Amino acid sequence: MSTPLEFFEYKKGILSTGGVSLDHVADHVGTPCYVYSAEGFLKPLQELKKGLKGLDSLICFAAKSCSNIAILDLVAKAGAGVDLVSGGELFRAGLAGVSPQKIVFSGVGKTPGEMATALEFGEAGIFAFNVESVSELATLSTIAEELGRTATVALRFNPDVNAKTHPAVSTGLKKHKFGMSRAEILKIAEGIESFPGIALAGISLHIGSQLLSLAPLKDAFILTRELIEELDTILPDLIRFVDLGGGLGITYSKEKPPTIAQYCALIAKQFGPKSPLKRRLKILIEPGRLISGNAGVLLTEVLYRKVRKDKDFLVVDAAMNDLLRPALYGSHHEAVPVFAMPKGPRKKTDIVGPVCETSDCFAAERPLPKALNQGDLVAILSAGAYGFSMSGNYNSRPRAPEVLIREGKIRVIRDRESYEDLVKGERLE
């Protein structure tokens, strides 16, 4: 179970990671900035590998959660593949040297151009496309034929299971845009010869994100297993792999998500040697947040304390353009001072950014030390997933740099954007 301070700790009173104190990072690249712990990515990956030992498995890191090429390189070198959702992410995977045969391409709206690039990526193209509709399948088939290739495909199954997570990141209900119903998939299988450019080899699944219970996953896995059993009676060439998606939750505050060991045990039970399924399949998973979430923090400096009667505001130099989750989903992130504060009076405080939106608030009504003031550093925790990767330039704010800490060394893996970067491609008239 990954927790906000698992990879960041106070050493001699200063928040540090991998032997480097965060004030040192702030001196080096300024604030706001994203700070990642290499160990933070590698530990959950290793735990997953351990949990899936003995199964024919592939862990595909969901690139959209944290897509810097140095991060993709880090997880690839640790043996992982990548789950992509766009041509841009495929380009990143290429720069990071991810093995094409460890790449799966998900998403409801792949363009013909993205399909062609992925089919020709590397020598043999990517491992598989997770296809989400009949019309997408037809388009992919046509493009593959035109290129003289065969597209390896998993059909994304929407099991109509309630993931019981935030509605914005729940994806496995009938009303959601994602995947296909059992009936739609069976119909495709019955007419699979009408898609000559396609090799139907898998079933994929992803019911949502930040899941805090295994129960919906279990329901979805059982329905998937039953669907594969039905497909076995229809398809000339049997399904070879199942992609169980990502979604396992992490601790942002006090949540108690299932452990990686429990998650892997569920996978083994449904698809491993003791599964009711008579034959063995290759098993893919697509964890994002589980790997990146608690591996990163957003480091920011207090610009002003605005004192009010009932609650104060700490205005910091990071904003919603840097970390969108609180504004977008009302997400909770712990916020801690980089220099541990001696016990003293506290006051209800909002930590807010400079952007002209009331939703530009990282932490609402937290009891924070009154001593925290102008010039102090604050770390917004659990910001590794959907942090930088969701950041933007609203209010014409250059995006923050990203820094990776590994074995006591600071590596700037992305520079702070300049004002010139902000206007790149714009022209007068």
Ligand X SMILES: *Cc1c(COP(=O)(O)O)cnc(C)c1O
Output 121 or 386, the one with its CB closest to ligand X: 386
User: Which residues are registered as beta bridge partners of 199?
Assistant: 152
Tokens of 325: 């989750």
The piece of 46-54, 143-151, 243-251, 404-412 that touches ligand X (CB under 6 A) is 243-251
**Interface pick for ligand X out of 102, 110, 206, 397 (rule CB under 6 A):** 206
**Interface pick for ligand X out of 72, 93, 290, 319 (rule CB under 6 A):** 290
Residue 139, Cβ density class (10 Å: 0-12 exposed, 13-18 middle, ≥19 buried): middle
C-alpha 393/C-alpha 53 separation (Å) is: 43
Query: Who contacts 186 (Cβ-Cβ below 8 Å, separation ≥6)?
Result: 227, 230, 231, 234
Backbone angles phi, psi at 131, to 5 degrees: -90, 140
Asked if residue 62 binds ligand X (CB under 6 A), the reply is yes
The piece of 11-19, 57-65, 90-98, 257-265 that touches ligand X (CB under 6 A) is 57-65
In whole angstroms, the minimum distance from the beta carbon of 416 to ligand X comes to 26
In whole angstroms, the minimum distance from the beta carbon of 1 to ligand X comes to 15
Query: Who contacts 165 (Cβ-Cβ below 8 Å, separation ≥6)?
Result: 208, 209, 210, 211, 212, 247, 249
**Interface pick for ligand X out of 216, 245, 353, 387 (rule CB under 6 A):** 245
Asked if residue 360 binds ligand X (CB under 6 A), the reply is no
Tokens of 286: 């697509």
Asked if residue 158 binds ligand X (CB under 6 A), the reply is no
264 is catalytic: no
Cβ atoms of 370 and 16 closer than 8 Å: no
Asked if residue 247 binds ligand X (CB under 6 A), the reply is yes
Strands 57-62 and 81-84: parallel
Asked if residue 287 binds ligand X (CB under 6 A), the reply is yes
Tokens of 32: 């706001």
In whole angstroms, the minimum distance from the beta carbon of 304 to ligand X comes to 34
Catalytic residue among 33, 60, 356, 361: 356
Distance of CA 255 to the CA centre of its chain: 18
Cβ atoms of 284 and 239 closer than 8 Å: no
Query: Who contacts 429 (Cβ-Cβ below 8 Å, separation ≥6)?
Result: none
Asked if residue 64 binds ligand X (CB under 6 A), the reply is yes
How many binding residues for ligand X (CB under 6 A)? Answer: 17
The piece of 27-35, 41-49, 220-228, 281-289 that touches ligand X (CB under 6 A) is 281-289
**Interface pick for ligand X out of 65, 68, 86, 294 (rule CB under 6 A):** 65
**What is the footprint of ligand X within residues 75-114 (CB under 6 A)?**
83, 85, 106
Tokens of 334: 């712990």
Output 289 or 333, the one with its CB closest to ligand X: 289
Tokens of 244: 């169980």
Asked if residue 125 binds ligand X (CB under 6 A), the reply is no
C-alpha 104/C-alpha 386 separation (Å) is: 19
Looking at residue 416, the DSSP 8-state letter turns out to be: P
In whole angstroms, the minimum distance from the beta carbon of 385 to ligand X comes to 6
Output 17 or 65, the one with its CB closest to ligand X: 65
The piece of 184-192, 239-247, 256-264, 265-273 that touches ligand X (CB under 6 A) is 239-247
Output 128 or 352, the one with its CB closest to ligand X: 128
Query: Who contacts 170 (Cβ-Cβ below 8 Å, separation ≥6)?
Result: 162, 163, 164, 176, 207, 208
User: Which residues are registered as beta bridge partners of 129?
Assistant: 105, 153
**Interface pick for ligand X out of 6, 73, 286, 376 (rule CB under 6 A):** 286
Output 32 or 257, the one with its CB closest to ligand X: 257
Kindly compute the dihedral angle of the four CA atoms of residues 301, 307, 308, 309, in this order, to the nearest 10 degrees. Answer: 120
Output 68 or 209, the one with its CB closest to ligand X: 209
State the catalytic residues. 356
Contacting positions for ligand X (CB under 6 A): 62, 64-65, 83, 85, 106, 206, 209, 245-247, 286-290, 385
